[in-house]
Each structure stands twice: as structure tokens, then as C-alpha cells.
Amino acid sequence: MRFKNKVAVVTGAGQGIGEHYAKALAAEGAAVVVAEINEANGTRVAASINEAGGKAIFVRTDVASEESAMAMGRAAEKAFGGVDLLINNAAIYAGMRMESELTIDLAYYRRFMDVNIHGALVVTRAVYQSMKQRGGGAIVNGSSTAAYIGYDYYGVAKLALNGLTMSLARVLGPMNIRINGIAPGPTDTEATRTTVPAAVLDSIVAQLPLARLGATDDISNTVLFLLSDAASWITGQTWCVDGGMIRRP
Ligand SMILES: NC(=O)c1ccc[n+]([C@@H]2O[C@H](COP(=O)([O-])OP(=O)(O)OC[C@H]3O[C@@H](n4cnc5c(N)ncnc54)[C@H](O)[C@@H]3O)[C@@H](O)[C@H]2O)c1
């Protein structure tokens, strides 16, 4: 019960890795705000946490909208008294257009960047004052190994997110708020199975030193550690959890 009496916001918690984060945090005592754009999925995840004896609310949130993020922050304060933890997990990933930045429709590209880069900043801005008032907090940004392999606009967005993690660590640190990132390799979610062609996925996995798809547990184990007090002197880092896909000095 590492997160007893803590309040956690998880963006994009309506399915996949985000749903897993929300349930794992609730199982360890946190009250969870499911901040998700998909109403049906967000409602389902919050209900299933409450049915299992945990505490959760769903707040329909578009992370790219300041108005929507601020309203979510207010809803969290009203329901649970404030915010201690945030996972910026939401992204356009399932069903994303597989096209290079040279030809992708520019309006789509701009919306994509608004969600996948700026969403993390917009939601952080909506909750950091509450964390500060409560004596500190912890944030994890959902990056990807795609950041390190020059992989189209999806990778560009994740690399920018890593930069945001580095930069925000400097300004949030004095408020006792830590911010780190997680860069998963190919992880077994419905989004991966429906978005990445099977042959591409198989060839990526075959080249991993630990040659299997990541499980959502592999990812959430590290994220929950980064959110916990055991990581109290770690900030500004993005950690790969990827079966050894990215190996750097
Ligand atoms: N699955 C993988 O292999 C993998 C690998 C590396 C990184 N990631 C990253 O992990 C995260 C989760 O991956 P997943 O496989 O669960 O993807 P997913 O597409 O299933 O989940 C993303 C969630 O974010 C929500 N969302 C999208 N736009 C939103 C918005 N504007 N506001 C609020 N919510 C919004 C979606 O509705 C969805 O519930 C993403 O950031 C993804 O880029 C995934």
C-alpha cells in the first residue's frame, strides 16, 4: 500500500497501459482520477476500480485543452482534496496514421503534437499548484523507445517529451515535485496489436536481448517505483523498460 492517502491522476487511463496504471495505483491505496477523452472507456475503468473496492472518478479530459485540464484539476480537488501524483500517459497511439512527416496532413500533425507533447505540460500546469500545497508530488511522463530511433513524428513527439521532463525537473524540484519519464519498448496492448503491422512487431521483438513483448506489468512496476518514496532523489530521468532494445552508455 505505497500510495495510501495519495491522490493520483492518470491521463489516457481508459484502456491499455493507462488502465493498468490506474488499477495498480488503486490497488496500492491511491484515489485515482481517470482523466480520459473516451467517455465509455473512462467510465468503465473508474467503475471497475470502485467495484474492486478502490476509489476512482472518471473526468472526461482532453489533455490538449487547457480549459479541460483545469476543470479536471478542480474536479480532483473537489472529489479527493487535491493531487499528489500524475502520470501523463495519454497519447494518440492506437490507430495513428503510419505516414512520414513529409506527407502527413499538417492539421493532423498539429493536433497530434498538441496531444502527444503539449498535453503533458498542460496537465502538469493544471495540477502542480495542488501538489505544491500538499508538500510535494511526483509525475511520470509516458515516452517511448521510439524517441531514440528517429522514428517519424511519433518519435519526435516522444523526444520532445523527454526534453520537457528534463526541463520541468529544474523548476518543479524546489517545490519537492519530482518528474521522470518511462520509455517502454513494444508492449502488449490492443493498440500495439492493431496499430503496428504484425510482421514489423515480430521483427522488432526478435532483435531484443529479452525477446518478448513487454507486459503492462513490466511498465507499471517501474512507473510505480518512480512515483514512490523509494525514488525520492530521482528526477529529470527517462528510463527505458524495453527488453534491452535501447542500449546506451
Ligand atoms: N503499447 C506500446 O507498445 C507502447 C510503447 C511505448 C510507448 N507507449 C506509450 O504508452 C502510452 C499508452 O499506450 P497504449 O498502448 O495503452 O495506447 P492506447 O492508444 O491504447 O492508449 C492511449 C489512451 O489515451 C487516450 N487519449 C488519446 N488522446 C487523448 C486526449 N487528447 N486526452 C485524453 N486522453 C486521450 C486514448 O483514448 C487512450 O485511452 C502512450 O503514451 C503510448 O505512446 C506505448
Model pLDDT, residue 151: 81
Q: What's the grid cell of residue 157?
A: 513527439
How many beta carbons lie within 10 A of that of residue 98, not counting itself? 12
Q: Is 128 a catalytic residue?
A: no
| Rounded Cα gap, residues 103 and 144, in angstroms | 23
Q: Quote the radius of gyration of the chain (alpha carbons, Å).
A: 17
Q: Rounded to an integer, what distance in angstroms lies between the CA atom of residue 162 and that of residue 159?
A: 5
Q: Could you give the C-alpha distances from 209 to 20, 143, 167, 192, 237, in angstroms and in order?
A: 25, 21, 32, 20, 23
Distance 84 CA to ligand 1 centre (A): 22
The predicted pLDDT at position 58 comes to: 99
Q: Where are the domains of the chain?
A: 7-187+216-240
Mutate to test the pocket of ligand 1, among 61, 93, 196, 220 (most ligand atoms within 8 A of CB): 93
Nearest CA among 35, 86, 80 for reference residue 61? 35
Q: What pLDDT shows up at residue 67?
A: 98
Chain length of the chain: 249
- What is the grid cell recorded at 2? 505505497
Residue of 94, 112, 82 whose CA lies nearest to 41: 94
- Cα 132 to ligand 1 centre (Å): 27
**Predicted confidence pLDDT, tens digits, the chain (249 residues):** 999 999 999 999 999 999 999 999 999 999 999 999 999 999 999 999 999 999 999 999 999 999 999 999 999 999 999 999 999 999 999 999 999 999 999 999 999 999 999 999 999 999 999 999 999 999 999 999 999 998 899 999 999 999 999 999 999 999 999 999 999 999 999 999 999 999 999 999 999 999 999 999 999 999 999 999 999 999 999 999 999 999 999
The burial of 232, by beta-carbon neighbours within 10 Å (0-12 exposed, 13-18 middle, 19 or more buried), is given as: exposed
What is the rounded (10 degree) CA torsion for 108, 110, 116, 122?
-130
How high is the pLDDT of residue 148? 97
Q: For the whole prediction, is pTM greater than 0.95?
A: yes
From the CB of 42, is ligand 1 less than 6 Å away? no
pLDDT at site 166 = 98
CA of 174 relative to ligand 1 center, distance in Å: 30
Is the CB–ligand 1 distance for residue 181 below 6 Å? Answer: no
Alpha carbons 167 and 165: distance in angstroms, whole number: 6
Instruction: Answer yes or no: is the C-beta of 216 below 6 A from any ligand 1 atom.
Output: no
Is ligand 1 within 6 A of the CB of residue 10?
no
Dist CA 31 CA 9 (whole Å): 9
Which numbered atom of ligand 1 lies nearest the CA of 16?
16
List the Cα angle 49/55/57 in 5-degree steps: 85
Q: Of 130, 142, 139, which Cα lies nearest the Cα of 241?
A: 142
Domain spanning 7-187+216-240: which CATH class is it, in words?
alpha beta
- CA 98/CA 104 separation, integer angstroms: 9
Is the C-beta atom of 116 inside 6 A of ligand 1? Answer: no
CA of 175 to the centre of ligand 1 (A): 28
